Amino acid sequence: MPSSSFSPDQQPSQETTKVLVDEKSRSLQCSVEQSFTLKGVEYYLLKPVDHPVSIIVLNEEQDEDEPIFVEDEAEIDILFPKAEASLAELNLTLKRNSFALTVAGELPELEEELFPPEEEAEEDLEVEEFQLLTTFWHDEVEYGIYTPLTPLLFLAKATPQGDLDIISLEEYENIEPILQEWI
């Protein structure tokens, strides 16, 4: 096996949190799950400190296997106040961060209401499951606010200026063999 400048015995970063900032200067506080140095560049596997959430359109006519995620910034702007109020009833605070919507607070106990329903998930496909936190209505359309059961992770690298950049798909493909060795 070719030798790399990566060592799995490296000590983890002393910092336990890092901040990701997007092009709109919004930030996302993350915990450092792992860190390593490769060819002089520090890489971090990051997980948001708060719980990530997604807003999904709940429409009886839609195919339940094909969720409609609300991702358009303008639509999120419109829905945000109602989503925020709905989550406040559960003592959760909705946050508009870089790269993800999150909620701060203690999530309710895991319930049977998962998306997609377990009996509809095909056995040979990996389906990301979400837990319903709450629902709300806007313009006669029902929306659900869900949190993924699988952690949301970001792989970022430190820039010479000390900032963090989420690595591109091309960069990921270059370091993937080393990550597989590490894992």
Percent of the chain with pLDDT over 70: 78
In this prediction, residue 129 carries a pLDDT of: 85
Shared-domain flag, residues 55 and 143: yes
Q: In degrees, to the nearest 5, what angle opens at C-alpha 70 toward C-alphas 67 and 75?
A: 150
Instruction: Pull the structure tokens for residue 146.
Output: 């869900």
- pLDDT tens profile 114-127: 565 555 545 443 45
Shared-domain flag, residues 125 and 61: yes
CA-to-CA separations, 99 to 27, 60, 134, 169, in angstroms, rounded: 8, 29, 21, 16
Is the confidence at residue 155, as pLDDT, over 60? yes
Shared-domain flag, residues 64 and 123: yes
Shared-domain flag, residues 86 and 102: yes
Domain encompassing residue 135: 51-148
Is the confidence at residue 76, as pLDDT, over 80? yes
DSSP track, 38-93: ETTEEEEEEEESSEEEEEEEE-TTS-TTS-EE---HHHHHHHHHHHHHHHHTTT-E
| Nearest-angstrom CA–CA distance, 142 and 120 | 21
How many domains does the chain contain in total?
2
Instruction: Pull the structure tokens for residue 125.
Output: 């496909």
In this prediction, residue 164 carries a pLDDT of: 94
Whole-model pTM: value is 0.78
Shared-domain flag, residues 58 and 139: yes
DSSP track, 4-23: -S--TTPPPPS-SEEEEE-T
Shared-domain flag, residues 32 and 113: no
The average pLDDT across 119-139 equals: 72
In this prediction, residue 178 carries a pLDDT of: 74
Shared-domain flag, residues 107 and 173: no
Mean of per-residue pLDDT scores for the chain: 82
Shared-domain flag, residues 135 and 159: no
171 sits in which H/E element:
helix 169-182
Rg of the chain (C-alpha set): 19
| CB-based contact 28:14 (threshold 8 Å) | no
Please state whether beta strands 51-58 and 114-115 pair in parallel, antiparallel, or not at all (unpaired).
Answer: unpaired
Alpha carbon 34 to chain centroid, angstroms: 16
Q: Which are the contacts of 65, defined by CB distance < 8 A and separation ≥ 6?
A: 116, 120
Evaluate whether residue 3 is within a structural domain: no
Shared-domain flag, residues 158 and 144: no
| Nearest-angstrom CA–CA distance, 42 and 159 | 8
Shared-domain flag, residues 172 and 98: no
